[in-house]
Amino acid sequence: MSEESISDRELLLGCRRGNDRSWRLLLDRYERLVFSIPLSYGLSREDAADVSQLTFTIFMNSMEGLREDSRLGAWLATVARRHTWRAMGKKKREMVRKDRDLAEYAADLLGEREEGFEAWELTDRLDRALGGIEAACRKLIVILYLDAAQPSHAEVAGRLGMPVGSIGPTRARCLKKLRAVMEVQ
């Protein structure tokens, strides 16, 4: 069985039995989503690491009480958002508007109209779609568009050892592949 085909329910049951592989798969599947939630709200990598550790620790202590049909990504994102707010303190109210704005673009990006689409789902779907394209493309898109530092094309060229002139055409090819993967998801 491929790792992708293992359901959330199987992961949850495996984790409850103390199966290390299930726990590892759970972390592989959701650690980027959980780590990215505090980063998306401007927390430092250190604070984001704290939120990640806390979120997965709370999951570990709560998994016996979770329903077997739980959507683990949604559950983890719920805890991560709570503790992102907690870590941000009084700045937190600015974030609500951001979530609402993001959800407005979800339909065009995902090719579907869904009520109440949440920002975390967008991050999760992006993460999964990026997992469906080759590593070089994934790396380029993440650095160009999803890196908190927002580096220039020249900096990206330096980091990836690519000629600056090839970034534009390569990123277009990679975005096209990403769109194709998101369409069939």
Partner 1 sequence: MPETGRPDFERLADWAEGRLSEEEALSIARQVEESDGEALAEARWIEAFMRVSADVVLDSPPPEIGQGLMRAFEERFATGREAPVAEQGITRRVMAALAFDSGFQASFGVRSAGSPSSEAQRQLSYETGVADISVSIQPRPGGRFDLLGQALPLGDEDPEDFTVQLVGVDGVEAALTGADDLGEFAFEGVGGGSYQIVIATPEAEILTPSFTL
CB of 3 to partner 1, least distance (A): 15
Listed residue (24, 121, 128) closest to 81, CA to CA: 121
Is residue 167 near partner 1 by the rule CB under 8 A?
A: no
Closer residue to partner 1 (CB): 49 or 160:
49
Is residue 100 near partner 1 by the rule CB under 8 A?
A: no
Residue with tokens 């998994």: 63
Map residue 121 onto helix, strand or coil. helix
Measured distance CA(86)–CA(82) in Å, rounded:
6
Answer whether 15's CB lies under 8 Å from 70's CB: no
Which residues, 6 or more positions from 89, have their beta carbon under 8 angstroms from its beta carbon? none
Using the contact rule CB under 8 A, the part of the chain among 2-10, 83-91, 156-164 near partner 1 is: 83-91
Query: Which position among 89, 161, 163, 184 is part of the footprint of partner 1 (CB under 8 A)?
Result: 89
Which residues, 6 or more positions from 19, have their beta carbon under 8 angstroms from its beta carbon? none
Is residue 180 near partner 1 by the rule CB under 8 A?
A: no
CB of 46 to partner 1, least distance (A): 9
Give the CA angle between residues 33, 86, 129 to the nearest 5°.
10
Is residue 12 near partner 1 by the rule CB under 8 A?
A: no
Closer residue to partner 1 (CB): 44 or 158:
44
CB of 180 to partner 1, least distance (A): 11
Residues 119-158 that bind partner 1 (CB under 8 A): 119, 122-123, 126-127, 130, 142, 145-148
Q: Which amino acid, one-letter code, is at 9?
A: R
Is residue 7 near partner 1 by the rule CB under 8 A?
A: no
Longest dimension (CA), the chain: 54
Residues 35-54 that bind partner 1 (CB under 8 A): 35-36, 39-40, 45, 48-50, 52-54
Is residue 21 near partner 1 by the rule CB under 8 A?
A: no
